[in-house]
Structure 1
Amino acid sequence: MLFLLTRILGKKQISQLTFFEYVTGITLGELAGFMSTDMEAHYMLGVTAMLVWFLVPLGVELLTLKSKRLRDWFEGKGTVVIKEGKVLEDNLKKERYTSDELLEQLRTKNVFNLADVEFAMLEASGDLSVLLKKENQPLTPKHLGITVAPEQESQAVIMDGEIMLEPLATLGFSVEWLKTELGKIGVTKDNVFLGQVDSYGQLTVDLYDDMLKVPAPQEKKLLMATLKKCQADLVLFGLSTQNQEARDMYEQCANDMDQLVRQMTPLLKR
């Protein structure tokens, strides 16, 4: 019964709890404990109490979905503890947060120098959200002006040596294709603990036999090499012909291939 009630209340009951969810979770657990150990009390009294403590937070949750004021009252609001690189001591005292606790929370975010922080907020759940200063943020392809291809979810096509038909069909591949790919790397499906295929058709596997080395996927590298070879061949054909019209055609095709290679580079080199 406790499991069913918690499932209905949702995933927030097992994540970072707000004050109200914390109280609700403790109370439901205590009631379940009393019901399973107190043999003298009537069983239905405990069931009624659990249902009440289930309906109250469920009703509050539905109400807070529609009211910002109720959300702030029941769940609390975040508190800014660092702003523009300065620690707000008054806000720390308001939350009864010590400097040691602040530094500890920063270390959990891999921040070991307070001077690197631009902004930090203590969320209602108790977690600390940190924004580093611009010069201390990790470098991304966007900072370098590089366009990268979109990443999609990989599908597990083999689990515990068994082929998963639904994920394989989602990617548009067949069982025969999968067996062919396994044959390329020299393994059988029975020896595969976990096999995944990304959205670009590359198969990666983890084997039961950890001593067996599996070659890394080479499809993207081979395709990139083929495209560059085609471009080089077009340039070579243009240099070897005496016909000006054919030379211009090969040069134009080589330029088109160069543009194609540039467009494909973010996808094939990730």
Structure 2
Amino acid sequence: MPDWIHIVIRAFSTLVILFALTRVLGKKQISQLTFFEYVIGITLGDLAGAISTDVETNYSHGIIAILVWCIVPFGLELLAMKSKTLRNLIEGKGRVVIKDGKVLEDNLKKERYTGDELMEQLRTKNIFRVADVEFAMLEPSGDLSVLLKSDLQPLTPKHLDMKLPIEKPTHAVILDGVIQLEPLAAAGKSKGWLMTELNKMGIPVENVFLAQVDTHGDLTVDLFDDNVQVPEPTQRPMLLATLKKCEADLELFAMTTKDTEAKLMYEASSARLTEVIQSVKVLLKA
């Protein structure tokens, strides 16, 4: 057998084995690479390259080495799930580098981390003053977790005592011009509803690259033809405008009527409608 065919067979079989073993090791290998996993990845790559191209080596011995380098880390990972001591030994521990707006230089030295590297990490998070940081920790993965001081944290609806609707996943109900029935059902919509909404916009299904149903049940579409302007959903803003008009009408009736009983009724209804509008205003804003 020619050497090139031998190399193709060895490389392909090695690729299949590595792929299977990587799936067993889990997604953590590519999402949060620790130093230990980094060493394993380099070694596995070197072993795979060596047994794939060196036709004089024993292929089975190379596979055994790869299995050892996968089984041992996998076993250690299972043990580390039950032992914090072992987990700290293998994955390392995070270290606080900023506290109360002050850099802990001793901890930086222990991590062999320079001030320039710390400032670079802070700048990637749009933080330019160390004094703005309440707490910062260097994670075992090398990422810097930062907590800003309370008065510098972003304002949230909770600070304003605003109640927002629970956000649900957005469902892609059309993809590449094809209706996706499963996401459509998950969004609580039917195919008939979808076709009706598209007809309102004057858009054929075939011209839709992507259509999504959001938390509020609104349909947004992206077309293959980028020159066509797609109308924005108007149901919720129109409903809010209608409620405000009713509120204004009730106030007008209360001011113009001469009947005392009717005046009190209109004022009470207007006040009740105002409360309703305030409670649903966040939901109905586009």
Which residue does 1:18 correspond to in 2? 34
Which of 50, 60, 64 matches 2:66? Answer: 50
Partners of 2:153 and 2:76 in 1: CA distance: 39
CA drift at 1:116: 1.7
CA drift at 1:252: 2.9
Which residue does 1:217 correspond to in 2? 233
Partners of 2:71 and 2:284 in 1: CA distance: 53
CA drift at 1:165: 0.5
Partners of 2:50 and 2:281 in 1: CA distance: 64
CA drift at 1:242: 4.9
Cα offsets for 1:125-170 (capped at 9, x unmatched): 0001111122222222222332222211110111111111101011
1:173-252 matched pairs, under 5 angstroms: 173-239=189-255, 241-252=257-268
Partners of 1:193 and 1:220 in 2: CA distance: 25
Partners of 1:222 and 1:18 in 2: CA distance: 53
Residue 51 of structure 2 corresponds to residue 29 of structure 1: no
Which residue does 2:5 correspond to in 1? none
Cα offsets for 1:161-189 (capped at 9, x unmatched): 11111010111111121111112222222
Partners of 2:236 and 2:115 in 1: CA distance: 50
SS of equivalent residue, structure 1 residue 142: helix
CA drift at 1:246: 4.2
Which residue does 1:126 correspond to in 2? 142
Q: Number of aligned pairs?
A: 270
Residue 25 of structure 2 corresponds to residue 9 of structure 1: yes
Which of 62, 77, 100 matches 2:78? Answer: 62
Percent identical: 62
Cα offsets for 1:90-113 (capped at 9, x unmatched): 111111111111111111111122
CA drift at 1:200: 1.3
Partners of 1:17 and 1:92 in 2: CA distance: 21
2:102 and 2:130 in contact (8 A); partners too: no
Residue 41 of structure 2 corresponds to residue 39 of structure 1: no
**Which AA in structure 1 matches 2:276?**
L
Which residue does 1:82 correspond to in 2? 98
Q: Structure 2: which 5+ runs fail to align?
A: 1-16
- Cα RMSD after superposing both structures: 1.8
- In the superposition, the TM-score normalised over structure 2's length comes to 0.88
**Which AA in structure 2 matches 1:84?**
D
CA drift at 1:48: 1.8
Residue 175 of structure 2 corresponds to residue 159 of structure 1: yes
2:207 and 2:223 in contact (8 A); partners too: yes
